Each structure stands twice: as C-alpha cells, then as structure tokens.
Amino acid sequence: MMQIRAITGTDIKAFQDVMKISIAGICTNAYGATTTAAWVSDKNPAFHFKIPEFAFLVEEDGQIIVVGGWSLTDKVDLHPNSDQVIEKPTHARINAVYVRPNFEGRGLGQHMIAHLEADIMTRSSVRDVYLWSTINAIPFYQAMGYTGGIDQFPEVAEGHKIQVRYMWKRLG
C-alpha cells in the first residue's frame, strides 16, 4: 500500500534529486535533450527550486519515487523567478509533483495531488489552488480538474526557455 509522508531534513537532497531525475527522464521529449540537460545541470545557476513549505514523498523499497509539495501564496500572473513570502495568502501553489521515471502510470501522481489538496484544505482556509505545468503534464492536471490558462516561457538555463502553463482549481 502506498504511503505518503512529510519530508524530514535528511530527505531534502533526495527530494531535489527526484525532481531533477523526473525532469530529465520525463520532460526530454517535450523540451529536447539539450534544454533539459541544461535545465537540470548541477552547474546551472538559474536552476531555482526551493523545497515547498509543506513537502511530502512516497518511498518504495527504500527508494523515494514520488515527491510533492505546496505553499501558501497569492495569485501569480507570471511564472515566478523566486518564491515570495505573503502576509495574507489568497492562494495555495502546488510547487512540485514529480514521479521518478519508470514509475509513471501507477496512479502515484494522482495520489500525491489528492494528498496535497486534502492537506491544503486541512491546514488553511484557502481554496484557490494554482500550479505551473510543463507541457507534457497538462493532460494529467486537466484530468485532475485543473483549468488551463496562460502560457509563459521562463528561462530555465542560460539561453534555454521552456513553455509552461498556468493552471488552477477551486477546492470543494
């Protein structure tokens, strides 16, 4: 049975590693090998990834296979270059849902999204949720009830931009 747990301090590097492995393995077809390699390179100073305020993972046989997290924020009209501290949050942002390659198609991402949404409803009164989806994940988020909005083209590494889509959902 799949169990989702909050990350601990010892999980931070593994959380980020799963994110990079997932991007490299799953996003290459959408953005190309050169852009994806530049994006996840350890030498990429533009690579921005802060562990979300509320971060979770799934382990199987001692290996972290899914990571996800969310933060309280305000509505962001453009893809953020950095995270902001908001005094009176109006939205929750799903910062991350990454499934390790070769574990896709097992419903793990769906379980993580459901867990994040339930956690948002438990911890806050905020019901408006948004995220930025890579183009390969848009159908997944649409199937989870998210509505697509504007596209942006953030630079993920020097000279490398990708297309992402702003998506939102109002929780029940």
Nearest CA-CA partner of 12 in 84, 61, 69, 60: 69
> Total structural domains in the chain?
1
pLDDT tens digit at each of 172 positions of the chain = 578 999 998 998 899 899 999 999 999 999 999 999 999 998 887 666 678 889 999 999 889 999 999 998 876 655 555 555 566 788 899 987 999 999 988 999 999 999 999 999 999 999 999 999 999 999 999 999 999 889 999 989 999 999 999 999 999 8
Residue 137: CATH number of its domain: 3.40.630.30
Contacts 24+ apart (CB under 8 A), 6-13: 6/54, 6/55, 6/56, 7/51, 7/55, 7/56, 7/57, 7/67, 7/69, 11/57, 11/64, 12/51
Asked if residue 42 lies in contact with residue 50, where contact means CB atoms within 8 angstroms, the answer is no
| Domain containing residue 159 | 4-170
Which residues are CB-neighbours of 76 under 8 A, at least 6 positions away?
A: 91, 93, 130, 166
pTM comes to 0.89
Alpha-helix residue ranges (DSSP H) falling in 41-107 = none
